[in-house]
Amino acid sequence: MAFSTSTFMEEFNRKRVGADEAVKVVKSGDLVHYGEFMMNSHILDAALAKRKDELEGVIIRTVCCPFPAQTVLSDPERKHFVYNDWHFSGASRKLHDKNLCNYISLTYHEGPSFYDRGYVPVDVAMIKVTPPDKHGYVNIGTSNSITHAFCDAAKIVIAEVNEAVPRCLGGSRETLHVSEIDYFVEGDNKPLIQLPELPVSDTDKKIAELVMEQIEDGACLQLGIGAMPNMVGAMIAQSDLKDLGVHTEMLVDSFVDMYEAGRITGLRKQLDKGKMVYTFAMGTKKLYDFMDNNPILASCPVDYSNDPDIICQNDNVLGINNAIEVDLYGQVASESSGVRHISGTGGQLDFIYGSYKSKGGKGLICLTSTFEDKEGNLQSRIKPILTPGATVTVPRSMNFYVITEYGMAMLKARSTWERAEALINIAHPDLRDDLIKEADKMHLWVKSNKI
């Protein structure tokens, strides 16, 4: 249906209500879907928390909410609100430690299909958007991901309108029309939450230097979260690499640095030539300002950005991701340390698989060789077996490359003893003998093994 300017503005104004009024639509037993990442609305969350004593058994789902939800803090017995996160933030991790938040398992590119197939019956969606443009469309900002999918599935959609939200161009499905939203709530127009700058260690720099050796002119980049991927971006910005492309899950500040240094053009991409494709962004004001109305960027749903069959259509895809630990079989744990949940699967599995299918592609799992435990003892991140209870993020059959500060191990087409040898070779030198002893007990060692 076509709308004149006066028609959609009349509809927009008619749908404007206070936050307390908007959340009255939530009933006991409803499934309420919050927004994603920096596009979560603390205003709507706070308004819903006020209704605690009127409600029971409301299921809340979010994606990596960066702040501790007031609905959760107001209800430590989880009688009124049951909070769940598709991908843990630091705030969700702390809530999980107190048994106040549960993780929802997700292979990220499949996310929208859960709503399309009716697996997640959404009663109320609560999101954050820009004001409507002259055509009557609001922009869903820095988080495309699964937002349109759960809004399409929702019986009622409530949107906080915030003038600080950057208008992020598509791509696809980066907007909703005023007619698709039931209630609009005026936001406080505060800037989006910014990620703190992460300290970069000497070890991170060594790993980043090894990653740099794998990057060629025209490579198509995916960077995960963390100090080391950011360090790679900084090194690329200072390098003489040319015509790099971007097809990533997460857009971070270092992409701005690389673009402004002239390293990113996207002109050698086979798909979305000249565009930096992403599905969500987390960073600082520098990143959010760069995203606003920038036609070099393409905001896409996650079933496009993270689909391995889409990823591999670009040549020389280089996926760069962190991990918590890797065992001698090659299994990667990036989500939990034992039973303590830390993060989510995210796009790591998608990009490890997609990069392998890409002509000339490489999927890199990067981690420091050691960490210090609570007693100050040096512990290896390359382990005989994963810590009991640890979640396998990348199965051994799909793992590609593993990098520590001591080198790189290629695991494809290698037997168990070859994998053990390659991984022990990039473990900390002081801990290799113990790993060899354990490998021998596990029948992963043969006489021809060399260290």
Radius of gyration for the alpha carbons in the chain, expressed in angstroms and rounded: 23
Nearest CA-CA partner of 203 in 423, 401, 428, 430: 428
Q: Which two tokens stand for residue 69?
A: 């939800």
- Count of positions (residues) in the chain: 451
**Is 213 known to be catalytic?**
no
Contact 317, 350 (CB under 8 A): no
Beta bridge pairs of residue 321: 365
Contact 311, 351 (CB under 8 A): yes
Contact 181, 41 (CB under 8 A): no
Q: Which two tokens stand for residue 417?
A: 């003893």
Q: Please give the backbone phi and psi of residue 308, each rounded to the nearest 5 degrees, phi first.
A: -55, -30
- In which region does residue 195 sit, left (phi positive, over 0), alpha (psi from -120 to 50) or beta (all else)? beta
Report in angstroms the alpha-carbon separations of 290 from 52, 142, 186, 192, 210.
39, 11, 25, 13, 29
Contacts of 37 (CB under 8 A, 6+ apart): 63, 64, 65, 66, 89, 142, 143, 145, 280, 281, 282
Distance of CA 326 to the CA centre of its chain: 20
Q: What pLDDT, on a 0 to 100 scale, did the predictor assign at position 1?
A: 43
Q: Which one of the listed residues 36, 160, 174, 249 is annotated catalytic?
A: 249
Can you give the pTM of this predicted structure?
0.95
Q: What pLDDT, on a 0 to 100 scale, did the predictor assign at position 198?
A: 80
**Dist. CA 160–CA 188, nearest whole Å:** 9
Contact 120, 153 (CB under 8 A): yes
Contact 184, 15 (CB under 8 A): yes
**Dist. CA 321–CA 318, nearest whole Å:** 10
**Dist. CA 51–CA 255, nearest whole Å:** 42
Report in angstroms the alpha-carbon separations of 440 from 328, 388, 394, 449.
11, 20, 24, 11
**Dist. CA 143–CA 283, nearest whole Å:** 12
pLDDT per residue, tens digit, the chain (451 aa), is 444 566 899 999 999 999 999 999 999 999 999 999 999 999 999 999 999 999 999 999 999 999 999 999 999 999 999 999 999 999 999 999 999 999 999 999 999 999 999 999 999 999 999 999 999 999 999 999 999 999 999 999 999 999 999 999 999 999 999 999 999 999 999 999 999 888 889 999 999 999 999 999 999 999 987 788 888 999 999 999 999 999 999 999 999 999 999 999 999 999 999 999 999 999 999 999 999 999 999 999 999 999 999 999 999 999 999 999 999 999 999 999 999 999 999 999 999 999 999 999 999 999 999 999 999 999 999 999 999 999 999 999 999 999 999 999 999 999 999 999 999 999 999 999 999 999 999 999 987 787 7
**Dist. CA 435–CA 428, nearest whole Å:** 10
The helix or strand, by DSSP H or E, that contains position 419, with its residue range, turns out to be helix 416-424
Contact 89, 112 (CB under 8 A): no
**Dist. CA 363–CA 353, nearest whole Å:** 8
Query: How many C-beta atoms surround the C-beta of residue 18 within 10 A?
Result: 13
| N- to C-terminal Cα separation, the chain | 69
